[in-house]
């Protein structure tokens, strides 16, 4: 970590037997990596492999800008999230770090910077807000609100499905945040239970806008982005991408909440695209909920965009905090 970041090494090593030390002076190393940039790329991958896989890793306790990471609270393919202390006012926050293995990948760096730009313009109670951003240890960080809870994926996995009224209250909060994003010209494109945070008071917020794009953006990605289980058919080819992609994902989440399992979770990934072109029918999807709730799910997951009749205003009207979920959250955190 010290070699790639240029920060002083803080680790201590005690030899228990005689050793032979081989020393590479800093100047010599700097000259070598200028001649061989692949060395720095390899080092960045090693650093990435060391960070984010334990509750306390090599970054915990170090000062990054005005922040000091205390523990790792989340990991993803491209990022690591830490609970941190803001030493300027002794408050707590979340730090989202771009993994070091991507710091030389222009496309991934661009996505991270795009997320910063998008979150800067999204201020809503049901969207995790960004408080700032900075560069440290050769990578990029975002300062985000800290949620003292878990995500919906972990909640459902560890404590089971929700009753319909509670599910509607949660969906209403998601829809309210999603509606604000759409009104601000932003598509999420990776809406799923793992990207929905819920705190001890039962307040819900959407997070991880790393795959988002502007509704009026010129052109689109040449390959699909998102999580296949929650993507509509058109998102696999990134054609006709719009707000209907997010409402499709919302319908899949609505199924998860009351059934405790994923709508397409029993099918291999290779079959998903074909399955998503099947129209809902009397026996599918089977949902243990009211007719109105089932109709909402069916309308959201229609294969063709023109048939999806989902009104976010109506769903958002269901929004309320659900403090009764606090007991469930305690069970998840104890595990």
Which residues are known catalytic residues? 190
The position carrying tokens 């896989």 is 53
C-alpha angle 58/63/66, rounded to 5°? Answer: 145
C-alpha separations of 270 from 229, 276, 284 in Å? 11, 11, 20
Instruction: Return the DSSP state at 307.
Output: G
For 80: left if phi > 0, alpha if psi spans -120 to 50, otherwise beta; the answer is: beta
The tokens describing 323, both together, are: 């403090």
C-alpha angle 245/214/173, rounded to 5°? Answer: 55
Q: H helices within the chain, ranges in order?
A: 2-5, 26-35, 37-50, 106-120, 152-159, 164-183, 233-236, 243-259, 272-275, 291-300, 312-316, 326-334
- Neighbouring C-beta atoms of residue 163, cutoff 10 Å: 12
Q: What is the CA radius of gyration of the chain?
A: 22
Angle between helices 37-50 and 26-35 (to 10 degrees): 110
C-alpha separations of 163 from 146, 290, 291 in Å? 27, 11, 14
Judge if the upstream peptide bond of residue 194 is cis by omega within 30 degrees of 0: no
Identify the bridge partners of residue 75 per DSSP, sorted by sequence position.
80
The position carrying tokens 């070091």 is 100
Q: How many Å apart are CA 317 and CA 155, to the nearest integer?
A: 23
């Amino acid at each position: 970590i010290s070699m790639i970041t240029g920060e002083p090494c803080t680790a201590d090593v005690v030899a228990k037997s005689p050793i032979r030390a081989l020393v590479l002076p800093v100047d010599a190393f700097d000259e070598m990596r200028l001649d061989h940039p692949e060395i720095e790329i390899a080092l960045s991958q090693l650093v990435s492999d060391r960070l984010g896989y334990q509750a306390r890793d090599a970054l915990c306790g170090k000062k990054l800008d005005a922040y000091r990471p205390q523990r790792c609270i989340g990991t993803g393919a491209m990022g690591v999230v830490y609970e941190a202390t803001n030493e300027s006012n002794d408050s707590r926050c979340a730090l989202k770090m771009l993994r070091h293995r991507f710091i030389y990948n222009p496309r991934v760096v661009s996505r991270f910077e795009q997320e910063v730009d998008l979150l800067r313009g999204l201020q809503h109670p049901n969207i995790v807000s960004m408080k700032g951003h900075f560069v440290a240890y050769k990578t990029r960080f975002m300062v985000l609100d800290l949620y003292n809870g878990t995500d919906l994926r972990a909640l459902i996995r560890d404590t089971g499905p929700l009753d319909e009224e509670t599910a509607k209250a949660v969906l209403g909060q998601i829809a309210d945040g999603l509606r604000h994003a759409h009104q601000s010209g932003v598509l999420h494109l990776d809406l799923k239970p793992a990207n929905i945070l819920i705190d001890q008071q039962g307040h819900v917020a959407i997070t991880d806008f790393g795959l988002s794009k502007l509704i009026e953006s010129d052109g689109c990605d040449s390959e699909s982005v998102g999580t296949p289980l929650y993507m509509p058919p058109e998102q696999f080819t990134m054609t006709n991408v719009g707000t209907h992609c997010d409402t499709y994902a919302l319908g899949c989440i609505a199924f998860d909440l009351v059934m405790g399992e994923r709508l397409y979770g029993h099918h291999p990934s290779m079959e998903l695209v074909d399955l998503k072109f099947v129209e809902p029918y009397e026996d599918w999807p089977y949902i243990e909920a009211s007719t109105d709730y089932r109709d909402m799910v069916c309308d959201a997951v229609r294969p063709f965009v023109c048939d999806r009749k989902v009104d976010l205003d109506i769903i958002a009207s269901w929004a309320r905090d659900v403090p009764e979920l606090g007991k469930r959250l305690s069970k998840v955190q104890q595990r």
